[in-house]
Amino acid sequence: MIARDLISDSLIPLKTSDSGAHALSVMDEYRVSHLPIVNNTSFLGMISDTDISNMNTVDDPLGNFALSLSGAYVKEDQPIYDVIQTFANMKLTLIPVLDDKDSYLGVITLANLVHNLAGITSIDTQGSIIILEINDKDYSLAQLSQIVEANEAKVLSSYITSYPDSTKLEVTLKISKLDIGSILQTFKRYDYIIKASYSNKDAYSETIQERFDSLMNYLNI
């Protein structure tokens, strides 16, 4: 999935002739702290609520405001992981998407990003979760998948958590099967350390789904 696939059509960009007060009103309506400024298809930059607060009057046109954000955009062919990194590094509430000629195509909202990320990580797909602790030099997703598939299941998604000054990795697997007893036994037979496991029948998985649903309702703009 790339940036172009994540664009939201719900938000109309600002123009330099719009006032700071209008920008704040739009931010409040869409529950964001940043908005793109575009003239025709030319992306001029991003303005934040802090930029507007630093001006003497909010009635001035946005063309008079200094923009604190530079490079706050992604190109249409960048993968979703680049989009996530840009969101995190720049602490944005939305991010503009530009084509190869730097023309404005639209924005990716945080709500839309989280919704698509849920699909990639199979959060809303029935199954189970297994968390393993593995030495980094021993990590092989192919081997983990073989163990899961040998027990008539599939790895729906996986992600790795690493820690500073440690050679250990925490590997989280989303499995397509509710009954994972045989999978856990196979991991133990191959001397894998199982830190935790949960199925959709567990209260933990129900809590995760409830929290995700609550987050999506909060971000639904």
Q: Which domains does the chain have, with CATH numbers?
A: 3-118 (3.10.580.10), 122-210 (3.30.2130.10)
> What integer is the mean pLDDT of 163-179?
90
pLDDT digits (tens, 9 = 90+) for 84-125: 888 888 888 899 999 999 999 999 988 888 777 766 666 667
Helices and strands in the chain: count of H runs, count of E runs: 7, 9
Phi and psi for 101 in degrees, rounded to 5? -105, 15
Query: Tokens for 95?
Result: 């991010």
* CA distance between the termini of the chain: 22
DSSP-based helix, strand, coil % in the chain, nearest 5: 40, 30, 35
pLDDT at residue 216 greater than cutoff 60: no
Per-residue pLDDT band for 130 (boundaries 50, 70, 90) equals very high
State pTM to two decimals. Answer: 0.66
Sheet of 94-98, strand order: 74-75, 94-98, 104-109
Assign 187 to helix, strand or coil: helix
